[in-house]
Structure 1
Amino acid sequence: MHRAHAFGLAGATVFRGSEGFGETSVVHTTRLLSMADDLPTAVVIVDEEDRIRAFMSQLEELPISGLITLEEVEVVHYKGRDTAAS
């Protein structure tokens, strides 16, 4: 997320799961301390496709594995904070 922010992307949010499994089919859960160190995490980044594709090279040097998907969305409502009052 910090790299996305430094890259100037429009927004990013990190979601930490309480339970999940992946390609190994091993269930990781907060209920077992021994399995709580590898909980599922999803990072959602919002920006235009070309900017996200340009950012993806930043991820190659990180020691992580995972799945990256690009999804087209239709924004039906957006109201940002009024930063003029700050």
Structure 2
Amino acid sequence: MKLQGEAKLVRIFLGESDKWQGRPLYEAIVLEAKKAGLAGATVFRGFMGFGAHSRIHSAKILQLSEDLPICVEIVDSEEKIQAFMPTLDQMVQEGLITMEKLEVIRYRSR
């Protein structure tokens, strides 16, 4: 797959405990992105955060949270990202989805 120049980055902010059809939502999103043939997806776990409910979720020992913040990033062309958006809309019942324009400098595999 070749990806260079202008592309889109989608960020999905959700909770670690969010589920989709019995599996972690972040995992389901990555698997669906792969199935859709998108260029790449990465999951990041946050140490602390809050969202629409204004509850603090933290990895501090004294207030151990089992619902840490998760961010999934997906990069591909605008056309492929737009085609994937209905899937994301269906899967993400609660959270935040953002999109921004970016420039891909290099995307290679061996």
Which has more radius of gyration?
Answer: 1
Q: Which residue identity is paired with 1:70? A: M
CA-CA distance at 1:66 after TM superposition: 1.6
TM-score, scaled relative to structure 1: 0.78
CA–CA distance in 2 between the matches of 1:79 and 1:52? Answer: 16
What does 1:36-55 correspond to in 2, within 5 Å? Answer: 36-55=65-84
1:7 aligns with 2:31: no
Say which SS state the counterpart of residue 43 (structure 1) adopts. Answer: strand
Q: Which residue identity is paired with 1:54? A: A
Q: Which residue identity is paired with 1:71? A: E
Tell me the matched-pair count: 79
More strand by share: 2
Indicate the percent of aligned positions where both proteins have the same amino acid.
Answer: 47
More helix by share: 1
- CA deviations on 1:42-72 (whole Å, 9 max, x unpaired) are 1110101121111111123326412112211
Q: Greater relative contact order (Cα 8 A, min sep 6): structure 1 or 2?
A: 2
CA RMSD of aligned residues (A): 1.7
CA–CA distance in 2 between the matches of 1:7 and 1:72? Answer: 20
Gaps in structure 1 of 5+ consecutive residues: none
TM-score, scaled relative to structure 2: 0.63
What does 1:26-37 correspond to in 2, within 5 Å? Answer: 26-31=55-60, 32-33=63-64, 36-37=65-66
Which residue does 2:50 correspond to in 1? 21
Say which SS state the counterpart of residue 42 (structure 1) adopts. Answer: strand
CA–CA distance in 2 between the matches of 1:18 and 1:40? Answer: 7
